Amino acid sequence: MTRETAELPRLLALVPYLLARPGVPFAEAAAVFGVSVERLRKDLDLLWVCGLPGHGPGDLIDIAFEGDTITLFEPAGVTRPLRLTSDEALALVVALRALAETPGLEERDALDRALVKVEGVAGAAAEAAKRVEVAVEGEERVLPVVEQALREGRRLHLRYHVPGRDETTERDVDPLRLALVDGRPYLEAWCRRAEGVRTFRLDRVAAVEVLDLPAEPPPGLPERDLSQGLFQPSPTDELVVLALRPGAHWVADHYPAEQVDDAGDGTLVVRLRTPDTGWVCRLALRLGDSATVLAPEGLATAVRAQARRALEAYAGS
């Protein structure tokens, strides 16, 4: 945790934290509270002069330092942390519940038990958690197999459908992690066929098998930061420009656009980057007269050609 909490809540938690952990190292306590060791020393200086009314030597919070460690002897009555606020209870309860209800997740049992305990501790503060729901789609067929391979450090064989090209592929992958993003499970893995890190949506896995081989992803792969979303277009990807009329404005919301301009006549001009334009071609066919591909020219030509071929199929049937 790196977030710095406001001072008073931090101090009210710090006293019982130190009381529960005699001899905790400075660095460890500072890391838990998300502050520098220097800041922690200032906190301790402040605690030192606080205490029970009278504020005589026996009334004050008493702390001893030995080497790099802290021991709190006298908490002046602050023996337990403050109860959870309704936002704190809501954040934990909703998160635990969302994961506990995800079909196929092997941690469900432990999540369920933790949920019951946190709800018990939160008491009435957990009421507000009923007002928030996070739906995470599970996957009972593939997800347990992926978790097993991750746990055992083994390679997987996948039959995977690539929707953009409408192909089914066969490949061996070394699993890196399972990500639940946008309410869906994805496998991030080193793909031995593509020799790169690839992300696989589990509901597009047609078949999965744990191989009797250890997973051997290349060492030192950088961990992708998923906080900006799963799909992070690269600046070297092809630039696609689409003109969207009102019926297709949802596209600007739905796909990660680099730029959206309002052309003023009810048309939005969307610029996005993608390594594979196959899906854009399918999208353009689907959108019919509510969207036009402005660039690249090759894609616009391909859309027209595909539409004509499809019309021939209709004419002949």
Residues of span 163-202 touching other proteins by CB under 8 A: 163, 166, 168, 175-184
Tokens of 81: 């942390």
With a CB cutoff of 8 Å and minimum separation 6, the contacts of 122 are 83, 84, 88, 89, 92, 93, 129
Q: Is 243 in the site for other proteins (CB under 8 A)?
A: yes
Among 114, 210, 239, 260, which residue sits at the site for other proteins (rule: CB under 8 A)? 114
Among 84, 145, 202, 257, which residue sits at the site for other proteins (rule: CB under 8 A)? 84
Q: Is 139 in the site for other proteins (CB under 8 A)?
A: no
Binding mask 11-50 for other proteins (x = CB under 8 A): xxxxxxx--xx----------xxx-------x---xx-xx
Residue nearer to other proteins on the CB measure, 192 or 278: 278
CA distance 52 to 40: 22
Q: Is 289 in the site for other proteins (CB under 8 A)?
A: yes
Tokens of 11: 């101090």
Name the minimum Å distance from CB 198 to other proteins.
Answer: 16
Residue nearer to other proteins on the CB measure, 236 or 317: 317
- Nearest of 154, 142, 61 to residue 104 by alpha carbon: 142
Residue nearer to other proteins on the CB measure, 236 or 309: 309
Name the minimum Å distance from CB 220 to other proteins.
Answer: 17
Query: Is the separation of the CB atoms in 274 and 163 below 8 Å?
Result: no
Contact range with other proteins by CB under 8 A, out of 64-72, 92-100, 191-199, 231-239: 92-100
Q: DSSP state, 311? A: H
CA distance 181 to 188: 11
Size of the site for other proteins (CB under 8 A): 130
Residues 56-75 that bind other proteins (CB under 8 A): none
Among 267, 272, 274, 277, which residue sits at the site for other proteins (rule: CB under 8 A)? 267
**Residue listed under structure tokens 């890196």:** 176
- With 0-12 CB in 10 A as exposed, 13-18 as middle and 19+ as buried, what is 89? buried
CA distance 12 to 22: 17
CA distance 202 to 207: 10
CA distance 71 to 63: 6
Contact range with other proteins by CB under 8 A, out of 64-72, 81-89, 192-200, 231-239: 81-89
Write the secondary structure of 176-205 as one string of H (helix), E (strand) and C (coil): EEEEEECCEEEEEEEECCCCEEEEEEHHHE
Q: Is 210 in the site for other proteins (CB under 8 A)?
A: no
Name the minimum Å distance from CB 255 to other proteins.
Answer: 12
Q: Is 81 in the site for other proteins (CB under 8 A)?
A: yes
Q: Is 8 in the site for other proteins (CB under 8 A)?
A: yes
Residue nearer to other proteins on the CB measure, 193 or 308: 308
* CA 135 to chain CA mean position, Å: 14
Name the minimum Å distance from CB 192 to other proteins.
Answer: 19
Task: Name the phi and psi angles at 56, rounded to 5.
Answer: -80, 175
Q: Give yes or no for a cis peptide into 296 (omega within 30° of 0).
A: yes
Residue nearer to other proteins on the CB measure, 228 or 234: 228
